[in-house]
Amino acid sequence: GEFSEVIGSCAALRQVQEQIRKVAVTNANVLLVGETGTGKELFARSIHAAGPRKDEHFLAINCGTRPEELLESQLFGTRTAVPGHGQTVEDGLLLHAGEGTVFLDEISNLPLSTQAKLLRAIEYGEVLPVGGSEPQQVRARIIASTTRELAREVAQDRFHEDLFYRLDGVKIQIPPLRDRIDDIPELVEYFVGKYSRQMRKRV
């Protein structure tokens, strides 16, 4: 099922799984908040897998990708004029995902100018590819993650306020392992089993 890769059964984890079940079927955009190493992409994949478009693409991008031009071409696509041949067209992730999901890992790392373009994609369902003149329709669901407090980033003019409100509507807090102590035996058993199979050794 959608939680097959999520190991554990403590109360904190069950609460997150219940939130995911509720939000997945709505196809709403989601913000996952949690410390580094809490498995936010795994939960993003769970949301996608539990949703009505689970057979569509799930595509992920790290928002710290540099330079900025590369990040924007990966996200929004490119249109390049080729003399005598019209244009070469490269679809970015937001277009290539179709009606699937795009996971924006650590969204606080997005440059402000890129944030403004992403806001337009969310508000109006369209992107303007780099070098293009015609907007393209976007139908993908956005799941973003952050390790930072985005409200503080907004207050310090490092994050677009309107984008923050667009993403903050459905927010899921992913618990760190120290709040999941009861899950440790289950996790140990899972990883011992996994690596003993891989290494063909009995532990």
Instruction: Return the structure tokens found at 120.
Output: 């337009």
Q: Global pTM? A: 0.82
Q: Say yes or no to pLDDT of 69 above 80.
A: yes
Q: Say yes or no to pLDDT of 3 above 70.
A: no
Q: What pLDDT was estimated at residue 33?
A: 96
> 46 near 87, Cβ under 8 Å?
no
Give alpha helix (H) positions in the chain: 11-24, 40-49, 68-76, 93-96, 112-124, 150-155, 161-167, 184-199
> pLDDT-based confidence at 185, cuts 50/70/90?
low
